Structure 1
Amino acid sequence: MEHIVIIGNGISGVTAARHIRKLSDHKITIVSAESDYFFSRTALMYIYMGHMTFENTKPYEDWFWKKNRIDLKKGFVNLIDTDTKTLHFENKESLKYDKLIIAAGSKPNKFGWPGQDLNGVQGLYSKQDLENLEVYAPDNNTCKRAVIVGGGLIGIELAEMLHSRNIPVTFLVRESSFWNGVLPESDSAMINREIERNGIDLRLSTNLKEIVSDENDKVKSVIIEETGEEIACDFVGLTAGVSPNINFLKNSTIETHKGVLVNRFLETNISDVFAIGDCAEQREAIGNRRPIEAVWYTGRMMGETIAQSVCGNRIPYKPGHWFNSAKFFDIEFQTYGWVHGKKAKPEYEEQYHWKHQDDNKCITIAYHKDNNEFLGINTFGIRMRHEVFDKWLTEKRSVDFVLSHLKEANFDPEFYTHHEADILKTCNNFYQTA
């Protein structure tokens, strides 16, 4: 019986532990410095907004771990000795392993801004971040204004959270349009308008220069790079992306770059050491996917894959077609396949865009201009069926087929019945002018 040690109790590590237990009688230990038990990180915003309690975010009862013989150890690993297969903890304790799975997740990016470590300045990633939000931004009496730096998904989640407590928010986005490195121009522009409709002070093409401290080492304002404007605030959310949480590996023999380098089997350069989830970096990217994917469902898939491998059934990681989902205030977003933003769009990709007159629903479809092959779709405010698009992408269907069968993918057939004529009319007009 081997001892499998997993560093990290997020979705990747916990999925690996559960599936290893299903497949084997190995001894399993999950190590985490963040929380005693696994919780749904994506639900942090709903705790702050009052929709859930922290207990509601734990998918498993506390007795689950003992019943399934999964040991939990709270502690911070500061050194891994791969020669002796030993973890050394900050409190001087140690732990032996036979196989090690690194699933340490991400940490918020910081770019050396003056004042970035002041009280009242933080990201939104951990349970501790949520607890600090209640200290520095519990209401609009304590927090007269918040400033958010960074235009990604975590940034817009934090804006919605603070807005729910009537805290005025200024949102600094360095790009010329929200998330336009990912979204096509028309999609991004609609989200700009949705952010502003919710009363957020959206500042595009704007960079942070400095975070200013009061006499108690707490934030009191920020300085804008371009204009020198000073904005008084009581809280600063740093949401300029995340990066792999791998600082504890710097003195180990495990090869890293931006993340822990792995092959298609999620194996590192060291025998019996693996990496999964946000902290893993593919040595060679898979198709159009990025080498590092900080996405919930890919972490789960990696956990399932590595469980097979450590239990004797060595299989490669095959994530399939790209998909993702998010929410921009009241607009739900889904993407399947590849629909590139303007800067990343390959020469062969054409895009068809339809927007509803209420300005909170739209569809963007990408296709290959030479053969009309369907490449991907973005939908906003319209719920679609994942399995349908996954099938069409595998079958390499044409964009004409997708448009004529789109109602099959819609959760709400009535919606498509009402808008099919307008969608197809817009499409035909697009073809005639393309």
Structure 2
Amino acid sequence: MTKQKRIIIIGNGIAGVTAARHIRKNSDCKITVISGETDYFYSRTALMYVYMGHMEFEHTQPYENWFWEKNKIDLMKGWVTNVDFEKKSIKIEDKKSLAYDSLIIATGSVSNKFGWPGQDAIGVSGLYSKQDLEYITAQTQTTKRAVIVGGGLIGIELVEMLHSRGIEVTFLVRERSFWDIVLPKEESQMINQEILDQHIDLRLETELKKIKTDSNNQVTSVITSDGEEIECTFVGLTVGVSPNVNWLKGSGLELNRGVLVNEYLETNIPDVYAIGDCAEHRNPSLGRRPIEQVWYTGRMMGEVVASTITSDKTAYRPGIWFNSAKFFNIEYQTYGTVKPELESGESQFVWQSEDGKKLLRFVFETESMSVLGVNVFGIRMRHDVWDGWIANNRKINFVMKNLELANFDPEFYKAHEFSIREKFNQEFDEIAVENNRVSMIKRLFA
């Protein structure tokens, strides 16, 4: 009788759970998923809506509780304290050791802290886990003023959460403009204005120096890099996240910022894999980063590792980069490569609506005219269309002629394709005259 293969997955986020589901689809392996955070998988991006009262926490769970037993996926609550790679076993807190044949590490991220005085005081929190949500909910019951530190996506989520409860928020952003390490100037300034329009106290080029507390270690105020003291009873530290790998130091697993993996998501130890936020790719695909902490990459890695373990060894090929977010009332999507500033050999076209709430930036190769990427603000676009255009090197004139195909806004929304094309034609006619680039015009309008 063939021995049933034992697979242990540490972490029940999107990466770990996707791996479990696809391993079950492909095999009868014994699957155990371990998490100290929650009993069941939930959508991490929905935490803000629980706080804002739009849903209950149970509504963030995509699967009914009976799903796991029905699909013979064992769930175990607890924190893994030790992994013995030689004996192929793990230890969960005070529980007995569990043996494995294949181990998948999918432990996600942890919120960053940078040694600020007072950073561990009562009333200070990041926003990553269910425990963070519960803590923030409890700590802000009577909060009248809060300070959020860090100008990224998690930061603006937490700002919106607190603002929804009528809490006055000061937002400390160390950059010259919001998220300008990612966004070009116009997009960044658009979000600055949206934050100000929501009556948020936005402080650009301002950093946290110290969190002050009372005799009970409760937050009372913060000191900024300008020397200003801002009274508050809650501080949100949202200066990014890091792979949750410190617990693996000295274990023999090769680490850098995350767990180092090859294109098959294999670590340096046989039968041990790492996926999701905690994985760091030794040789990332062209145009991709070594660590990409977004929902869909975790899902893709879960599918890939499941295939490798149960059937065919499969390389991780994430394809064209995309991401999405929301800045209060402005939705954001990006496809392909759009950097804060153009690189050599690149051109761009930017369209913005009169009300300043919608913007599209198209980046393309100057010589070939092939589209490299697009930023979309305030208009919904179809992922599959843009993925195909960029992957197939469609030229900017083709994209302009067929822009309606990418529009995903409801039919009663105002369409902007005519205005976009009109500005594009006018702008590139002027450029052609100024630079006497007749060849470019022939390619554009042939």
Normalising by structure 2, report the TM-score. 0.94
Change (3 A) 1:412 1:58: closer
Aligned length: 428
- Alignment partners' CA distance in 1, 2:155 and 2:427: 34
- Tell me, yes or no, if the aligned pair for 1:76 and 1:89 is still in contact at 8 Å: yes
1:368 shift after superposition: 1.1
**SS state of the match for residue 416, structure 2?**
helix
1:303 shift after superposition: 0.3
Bigger CA radius of gyration: 2
- Tell me, yes or no, if the aligned pair for 1:118 and 1:219 is still in contact at 8 Å: yes
1:183 shift after superposition: 0.9
- Tell me, yes or no, if the aligned pair for 1:410 and 1:416 is still in contact at 8 Å: no
- The residue aligned with 2:365 is 368
**SS state of the match for residue 266, structure 2?**
coil
Which one of 338, 343, 347 corresponds to residue 344 of structure 2?
A: 347
**SS state of the match for residue 334, structure 1?**
strand
Q: Counterparts in 2 of 1:280-429, with a 5 A limit?
A: 280-342=279-341, 345-412=342-409, 418-429=415-426
Which one of 61, 64, 67 corresponds to residue 67 of structure 2?
A: 64
Asked if residue 154 in structure 1 is aligned to residue 151 in structure 2, the reply is no
- 1:61-115 Cα deviation digits (max 9, x unpaired): 1111111111111111122110001112332532111100000000011111111
- Alignment partners' CA distance in 2, 1:53 and 1:334: 27
Q: Counterparts in 2 of 1:24-423, with a 5 A limit?
A: 24-91=27-94, 93-138=96-141, 142-225=142-225, 227-342=226-341, 345-412=342-409, 418-423=415-420
Asked if residue 12 in structure 1 is aligned to residue 11 in structure 2, the reply is no
- Alignment partners' CA distance in 2, 1:161 and 1:416: 27
**SS state of the match for residue 83, structure 2?**
strand
- Tell me, yes or no, if the aligned pair for 1:79 and 1:251 is still in contact at 8 Å: no
- Alignment partners' CA distance in 2, 1:231 and 1:211: 10
- Tell me, yes or no, if the aligned pair for 2:212 and 2:220 is still in contact at 8 Å: yes
- 1:116-166 Cα deviation digits (max 9, x unpaired): 11111111000001001111113xxx1121111111111111111111001
Normalising by structure 1, report the TM-score. 0.96
Identity rate of aligned residues, in percent? 60
**SS state of the match for residue 320, structure 1?**
coil
Counterpart of 2:127 in structure 1: which amino acid?
L
Unaligned runs of 5+ in 2: 433-446
- The residue aligned with 1:3 is 6
Give me the CA root mean square deviation: 1.4
**SS state of the match for residue 79, structure 1?**
strand
- Alignment partners' CA distance in 1, 2:198 and 2:232: 19
- Alignment partners' CA distance in 2, 1:315 and 1:64: 27
**SS state of the match for residue 423, structure 1?**
helix
- Alignment partners' CA distance in 2, 1:353 and 1:87: 53
Unaligned runs of 5+ in 1: none
Counterpart of 1:155 in structure 2: which amino acid?
G
1:210 shift after superposition: 0.7
- Tell me, yes or no, if the aligned pair for 2:333 and 2:376 is still in contact at 8 Å: yes
- Tell me, yes or no, if the aligned pair for 1:78 and 1:249 is still in contact at 8 Å: no
- Alignment partners' CA distance in 2, 1:417 and 1:43: 28
- Alignment partners' CA distance in 1, 2:311 and 2:292: 26
**SS state of the match for residue 376, structure 1?**
strand
- Alignment partners' CA distance in 1, 2:131 and 2:357: 34
**SS state of the match for residue 28, structure 1?**
strand
- Tell me, yes or no, if the aligned pair for 1:28 and 1:71 is still in contact at 8 Å: yes
- The residue aligned with 2:438 is none
- Tell me, yes or no, if the aligned pair for 1:176 and 1:205 is still in contact at 8 Å: yes
- Alignment partners' CA distance in 2, 1:222 and 1:362: 36
